[in-house]
Structure 1
């Protein structure tokens, strides 16, 4: 068992920029592409994801410290620390169920494709850790039941694949990502409630007139309404709220402007590499199974580069900190996952067609729910960490995370299995 876990960890340590091109190359060969064409697609996609994650790192490495400075400046004192998704992923992969989740998830995906219960061929293997997380939670909850843990992981995977199918047309129409779906657990979680809530807002008189999307802003303000300038202004605002010096404030403003400009260009490179594979997959599956539509499941990073997603996320960072302070009964101190907000609101923004006002309203409500869920699940989250020999932050006895501890789908599955334990 330990050897299997060590091998799995070594494989995952290669990172998505290596794992994904290998998976794409093998898929290309499986779908009868010539070696040269499959190899070029794989390398192009790998290069695109290197660029995407460089831009994501630029976002996270600037947004994270600014958010932490804001929390410290406001003097927030809560007894559960949000350790963020990197810690949650590490804890998940250290669980005894982790070694079984990847092969099981691949089998489930293939079975669902063959039975036409999904159109998503999810090659985002790295993010299978989301399935592992709920499996690990149920493993602790059930006093070590592998069966319950793996069933929980599969339930979460099926939900992710079905929502990925449902939202793929939105990715094509709004994000201009044809043939792609996103089954990332954190993004899917917010879509299930977020999309209906957006549609509800769009029917409420008065609120449905509130509109602020990049196109309307640019029409009104000209060059000062371009996404580049929006990123600069929101970055400067975040620096001021964090109490940064003038130089550091300008630096984070420039960084956010760079994210706004560079991310869409990286996604265009990704599409250049992905389209040949997507077309080959569609032809292959249509010929053998009569499946005309097939989506390649990728990391939610492909969707966060839209200006409205970044703008919504930057506005929600201070709002999340304020929510943590004012919500009665919340004990989670937002910290590590404040920089993850772009990922969890991407589908909300897509459903709102870039309307930042509606996206912020819905995002605020759902993050408030997440804080309560993360508070309740903190003891199990902490037990998982302790069993994985994870070093708890100094001065705290409880940890959680907004990304997965506050994941809406995880919470429902957790409550379901709580009935049997």
Structure 2
């Protein structure tokens, strides 16, 4: 058993740049692709992954020091440090719970796909970290490792349920047939965006505003172009951070470059994935009576969309303002300011790509994350202590974008009801899977036949 766990830990330690192409290659072979095509798909996905990482690093490093200076300038009274979800993966995979959940997740996912209880075959192993983090919250609250393991299993089931539920709208909006996004941090926003957009549709005047990227370009010419928007946002952030002229110009050009290059990196990623998605469809047509199976992938595939990028960049100064003016908030946003794209990307399809709706809706969503992160901060700090993970400070820490409704729900259930509450919620999730993929499907078939 120790050798098996050490082997998994070693594989994950190779990094997503190495293990993701290997996984794509193996899945391609499983679905019947020729070894040469499966190999090229894996390599292409790996190259796309490197490209995405380079662009995101450019964005993070470019905004990093500016964000820090803005935080010091406007948020000195806030006493909970946001260290960012970038440490989520290292945190999760530094624990026995995290390593054990990798084979459990893969095996359980495959079983549920075969049984027809989920359409999502999740290959985004790195982002298992968020369900593992939910399990760690349960373990911290209950003080029991096995209860934490049960919590993590329920969390991965919730992840596949949400991925199935959002797949149609997300794939149609971004143009990714056969792909499901399984990044749970991104999926959490869907349940907020969908009812909120219903409210927006019923607000007189506001419901008439048409402001997607294409219409902005038509109305404002060059100033509506996403590259120019990125340039202007970088300049504004640089000014707020107190940079000199050279620093402001450099930051502006960096954010403009990200807006231009990101979609090209995503396109390369998809170039490698599409043969896998097509092979999966052929396989299911032959072996599973045409049952739909979508390949579960990282939300990084969606962050190159102009509305996603524009909204996430505009949220940087907005979040700092919210941190200061929200009564009762104790979180100083820092580490997660460069990761807003991953939290809000799947909300954008439900706002129909409308930048005004997206900005208002995502700002309201941030309000929730501030209060949730403030409430969870003592528990999150204990999670890091449980994992013996050095956060470089003796004070309270949090990950702003982990302050989402799944985290609040799992902590509430664990605190008030214990493991029975977690198991009960798991039963509800399983029932939802049965309804969506068995009962609802049969109803549609019966209606079409009639």
Contact 1:171–1:180 (8 Å) recurs in 2:
no
Q: Helix, strand or coil: the match of 1:403? A: helix
Residues 375/4 of structure 1: CA separation in 2 closer, same or farther (3 Å cut): farther
Q: Look up the match of 1:281.
A: 280
Q: Helix, strand or coil: the match of 2:180? A: strand
Aligned equivalents of 2:208, 2:242: Cα separation in 1? 34
Q: Look up the match of 1:324.
A: 323
Contact 1:312–1:359 (8 Å) recurs in 2:
yes
Aligned equivalents of 1:4, 1:82: Cα separation in 2? 35
Name the TM-score, length of structure 2 as normaliser: 0.89
Q: Look up the match of 1:262.
A: 261
Q: Look up the match of 1:402.
A: 400
Q: Look up the match of 2:226.
A: 227
Aligned equivalents of 2:149, 2:58: Cα separation in 1? 35
1:187 aligns with 2:186: yes
Structure 2, unpaired ranges of 5+: 419-450
Cα deviation for residue 256 of structure 1 reads: 1.2
Q: Look up the match of 2:32.
A: 32
Residues 389/418 of structure 1: CA separation in 2 closer, same or farther (3 Å cut): same
Residues 2/203 of structure 1: CA separation in 2 closer, same or farther (3 Å cut): farther
Q: Cα deviations across residues 106-133 of structure 1 (Å, max 9, x unaligned)?
A: 1221122112121111100011111110
Q: Helix, strand or coil: the match of 2:397? A: strand
Aligned equivalents of 1:250, 1:2: Cα separation in 2? 53
Cα deviation for residue 7 of structure 1 reads: 4.1
Q: Helix, strand or coil: the match of 1:109? A: helix
Q: Helix, strand or coil: the match of 1:133? A: helix
Cα deviation for residue 294 of structure 1 reads: 2.1
Contact 2:137–2:410 (8 Å) recurs in 1:
no
Q: How many residues align?
A: 418
Q: Look up the match of 2:200.
A: 201
Cα deviation for residue 137 of structure 1 reads: 1.1
Aligned equivalents of 1:162, 1:276: Cα separation in 2? 25
Q: Which moved more, 1:365-374 or 1:63-72?
A: 63-72
Within 5 Å, which residues of 2 pair with 1:239-250?
239-250=238-249
Q: Which moved more, 1:88-97 or 1:41-50?
A: 88-97
Q: Cα deviations across residues 65-109 of structure 1 (Å, max 9, x unaligned)?
A: 222221111143222111111223322222331121111111221
Q: Cα deviations across residues 192-219 of structure 1 (Å, max 9, x unaligned)?
A: 2122212321222122123322111110
Q: Look up the match of 1:43.
A: 43
Contact 1:283–1:292 (8 Å) recurs in 2:
no
Contact 2:193–2:351 (8 Å) recurs in 1:
no
Aligned equivalents of 1:272, 1:7: Cα separation in 2? 30
Name the TM-score, length of structure 1 as normaliser: 0.95
Within 5 Å, which residues of 2 pair with 1:4-15?
6-15=6-15
Aligned equivalents of 2:3, 2:373: Cα separation in 1? 32
Residues 295/413 of structure 1: CA separation in 2 closer, same or farther (3 Å cut): same
Aligned equivalents of 2:295, 2:119: Cα separation in 1? 9
Aligned equivalents of 2:81, 2:9: Cα separation in 1? 26
Q: Cα deviations across residues 117-168 of structure 1 (Å, max 9, x unaligned)?
A: 211111000111111101111111111231x212211222122212212222
Contact 2:89–2:126 (8 Å) recurs in 1:
no
| RMSD across aligned positions (CA) | 1.7
Q: Cα deviations across residues 359-383 of structure 1 (Å, max 9, x unaligned)?
A: 1111111111111111111112111
Cα deviation for residue 6 of structure 1 reads: 4.9
Q: Cα deviations across residues 376-407 of structure 1 (Å, max 9, x unaligned)?
A: 1111211121222222333x421111122x02
Q: Helix, strand or coil: the match of 2:401? A: coil
Q: Look up the match of 1:271.
A: 270
